[in-house]
Amino acid sequence: MKSRKHLTSVVSGLALLTGAACASYAADPLKIGLLEDVSGDLALMGMPKLHGSELAVEEINKSGGIMGRQIELIHLDPQGDNARYQEFARRLLNRDKVDVLIGGITSASREALRPIVDRTTTPYFYTNQYEGGVCDASMISMGAVPEQQFSTLIPWMVEKFGKKVYVIAADYNFGQISAEWNRKILKDLGGTVVGEEFIPAGRIAVRSNNPEYPESQAGLDSHDQCGSRAGLVLRAGIRGQA
């Protein structure tokens, strides 16, 4: 449902971009390039985004399209590989001549796309939650940032489970910046971060190997991980329930 709402917002905005189009082009489809991972570690997140996009396109086309133009959705699966993201972005922009590009799950995939999109005038929509602070003339970020998510979630976690927190985060910009917000909000709440662990992408194990912070110390875990192996979750749990 969230993916469907995102795409609906995107295509509504595209109506403004096509307002000046000549009537002779009314029959041409509006091409949307979609880069979502539907295989590999990120498929758990990519599949619902693809299905939501397909449903939105189907409903919009049945209702007459955008200013008389049907939407043609061109989806490619980068499989979580940033090199494929770049290859497929060039294909969509240069060969397929898409009118808009949507996609990317991790911040790393977004950063792989930005230099390519910046060389064009094609708008790029990044619909995933992310760390914030990114702004380009051609890029529009639509997802929530850690401050928005954690400002309500962490106080609830602290109230329910306690003020001692162990943070497990992905070892790249989203995880690192999310951990910073954990520290700030917990400090304001009088809480304590008893330990942090940053997990490299693709690593399966998330159990702490740090003897300085035995499992019994933390009342809750804050997980800022990405991918099907760790989930993209922020999970609270008393030991034995987490």
Count: domains in the chain:
2
Whether 213 and 194 have beta carbons less than 8 Å apart is answered as yes
Assign residue 219 the CATH number of its domain.
3.40.50.2300
Choose the final residue of a domain: 98, 125, 141: 141
The residue among 58 and 9 whose pLDDT is bigger is 58
Let me know if residue 65 belongs to a domain: yes
Q: Are residues 196 and 76 in the same domain?
A: no
| pLDDT over threshold 90, residue 13 | no
Give yes or no for residue 146 having a pLDDT over 90: no
Q: Mean pLDDT throughout 67-82?
A: 96
H helical segments located in the chain: 2-17, 43-62, 82-90, 107-117, 146-161, 173-188
Residues 193 and 115 in one domain: no
Q: How far apart are CA 240 and CA 242, in angstroms?
A: 6
Instruction: Encode pLDDT of 203-227 as tens digits.
Output: 555 555 555 555 545 555 555 545 4
Lowest mean pLDDT among 67-76, 88-97, 111-120, 175-184: 175-184
Q: Is residue 15 a part of any domain in this protein? A: yes
User: Is 231 a domain residue?
Assistant: no
Domain that holds residue 90: 2-141
